[in-house]
């Protein structure tokens, strides 16, 4: 019997009625003969509510205690879903992250999975039980409860699938697949039937909220077949794989956008002779993610380096830089808020010159000023004013004719 790992997100289990519906979907998969591992998130907005409660108590709550608090959300879901499965006559057992053997690094609130010791899960499957596992959480080597960051339940699911040698990992969510862009904001967005791991990884990093980037990275590393499917409709989803076989004519396959971007610029004196890279080493040691980087070294002028961070990390970034100003050697820091990042992604871009030029030309015609640029073989990202974000996304979606993709393709 093949093992199948399925994951249901917070909206899919937001109420007891939806949990019962999920139990029925699981029953259908179980009837096909699969050994089933079910990974779930906290119900609806439970995590947000817990954060509000913590902030009512403390202005800067301990990250360790926040992990202890936030993991309770998933524990509610696994117990209720196990009860719902048992009511349907199925054998089911719930597992917290640490009971499931999810061992992480010692980084509160945003830990990476180091190993999966899945003996307890395997034992449950051998006994004919459905294993219901709390996503988003694990335990470090010191026995501390840890969390994997927002969207971490996706990562839990793929990590378990890889450890158990599963046939596939299905991510059930409130959308029926991965679209060329967010259909709530971009006219004519179309569902893609297939995406390569690399394309999905870029889209996930660039703001597409369908999947957590680490989950896609794990799926790619382990060549784990992965699908994104609807929790509510019995329709085909989007398949993630190494290479796509349909819709190959698309040079650009997706447009992603992300708000709450901050551009930070460090200015140095003209006689500064150190490495501008030191600033990024310091930020990395403090677990601050830097995205786009633009360095300016001008003869007989003051050097500077600009980089982007998320709004949520602005104050922490400023504090770290201020604490290390003497060793880093910069003169002063400036930052600009109310920015957004808009990106185009497609594996076909590597062999089709002129894509970036077409992107910049369209943005120019739309009167949108580009503040920063970042490129790779399969993506081009620009930072623009927040007020221009949706205009830019819709214009680029139209420019690369993603709105003409056949829905029946």
pLDDT for the residue 68: 97
pLDDT for the residue 409: 41
- Is the pLDDT score of 407 beyond 60? no
- Is the pLDDT score of 391 beyond 80? yes
Average pLDDT over residues 360-380: 95
- Does the structural domain 3-174 have CATH classification 3.40.50.720? no
Average pLDDT over residues 51-61: 95
- Is the pLDDT score of 242 beyond 60? yes
Confidence band of 350 (pLDDT split at 50, 70, 90): confident
- Is the pLDDT score of 208 beyond 90? no
Q: Which of 13-17, 56-60, 346-350 has the lowest mean pLDDT?
A: 346-350
pLDDT for the residue 300: 62
- Is the pLDDT score of 54 beyond 60? yes
Q: Where are the domains of the chain?
A: 3-174, 255-404
Average pLDDT over residues 98-115: 95
pLDDT for the residue 297: 66
Query: Domain 255-404, what fold?
Result: VC0802-like (3.30.2130)
Q: What is the 3-state secondary structure (H, E, C) of the chain?
A: CCEEEEEECCHHHCCHHHHHHHHHHHHHHHCCCCEEEEEECCCCCHHHHHHHHHHHHCCCCCHHHHHHHHHHHHHHHHHHHHHHHHHCCCCEEEECCCCCCEEECCCCCCCCEEEECCHHHHHHHHCCCEEEEECCEEECCCCCEEECCCCHHHHHHHHHHHHHCCCEEEEEECCCCCECCCCCCCCCCCECCEEEHHHHHHHHHCCCCCCCHHHHHHHHHHCCCEEEEECCCCCCCEEEECCCCCCCCCCCCEEEEEEEEEEEEEECCCCCCCCCCHHHHHHHHCCCCCCCEEEECCCCCCCEEEEEEEHHHHHHHHHHHHHCHHHHCCCEEEEEEEEEEEEEECHHHHHCCCHHHHHHHHHHHCCCCCCEEEEECCEEEEEEEHHHHHHHHHHHHHHCCHHHCCCCC
pLDDT for the residue 267: 92
User: Same CATH fold, 255-404 and 3-174?
Assistant: no
pLDDT for the residue 408: 45
Average pLDDT over residues 103-116: 94
Q: Which of 11-20, 196-205, 298-307, 333-342 has the lowest mean pLDDT?
A: 298-307
Average pLDDT in the chain: 92
């Amino acid at each position: 019997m093949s093992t199948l790992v399925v994951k249901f997100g917070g909206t899919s289990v937001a109420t007891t009625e939806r949990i019962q519906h999920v139990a029925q979907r699981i029953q259908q998969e179980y009837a096909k003969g699969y050994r089933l591992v079910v990974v779930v998130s906290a119900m609806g907005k439970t995590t947000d509510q817990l954060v509000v409660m913590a902030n009512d108590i403390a202005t800067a709550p301990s990250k360790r205690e926040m992990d202890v608090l936030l993991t309770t959300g998933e524990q509610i879901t696994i117990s209720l879903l196990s009860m719902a499965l048992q009511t349907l006559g199925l054998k089911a057992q719930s597992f917290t992250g640490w009971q499931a053997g999810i061992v992480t690094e010692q980084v509160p609130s945003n830990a990476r999975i180091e190993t999966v010791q899945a003996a307890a899960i395997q034992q449950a499957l051998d006994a004919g039980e459905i294993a219901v596992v709390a996503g988003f959480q694990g335990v470090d080597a010191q026995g501390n409860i840890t969390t994997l960051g927002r969207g971490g339940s996706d990562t839990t699911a793929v990590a378990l699938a890889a450890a158990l040698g599963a046939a596939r990992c299905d991510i059930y969510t409130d959308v029926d697949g991965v679209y060329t862009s967010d259909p709530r904001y971009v006219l004519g967005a179309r569902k893609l039937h297939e995406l390569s791991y690399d394309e999905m990884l870029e889209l996930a990093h660039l703001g597409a909220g369908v999947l957590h980037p680490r989950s896609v990275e794990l799926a790619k590393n382990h060549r784990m077949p992965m699908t994104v499917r609807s929790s509510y409709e019995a329709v085909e989803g989007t398949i993630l794989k190494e290479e796509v076989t349909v819709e190959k004519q698309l040079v650009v396959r997706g447009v992603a956008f992300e708000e709450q971007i901050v551009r930070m610029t460090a200015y140095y004196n003209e006689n500064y002779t150190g490495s501008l890279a030191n600033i990024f080493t310091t930020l990395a040691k403090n677990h601050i993610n830097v995205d786009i980087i633009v360095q300016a070294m001008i003869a007989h002028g003051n050097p500077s380096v600009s980089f982007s961070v998320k709004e949520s990390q602005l104050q922490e970034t400023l504090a770290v830089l201020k604490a290390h100003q003497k060793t880093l050697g910069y003169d002063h820091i400036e930052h600009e808020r109310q920015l957004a990042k808009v990106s185009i992604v497609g594996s076909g871009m590597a062999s089709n010159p002129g894509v970036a030029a077409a992107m910049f030309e369209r943005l120019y015609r739309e009167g949108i000023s580009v503040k920063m640029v970042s490129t790779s073989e399969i993506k081009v990202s620009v930072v623009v004013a927040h007020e221009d974000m949706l205009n830019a996304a819709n214009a680029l979606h139209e420019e690369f004719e993603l709105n003409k993709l056949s829905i029946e393709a």
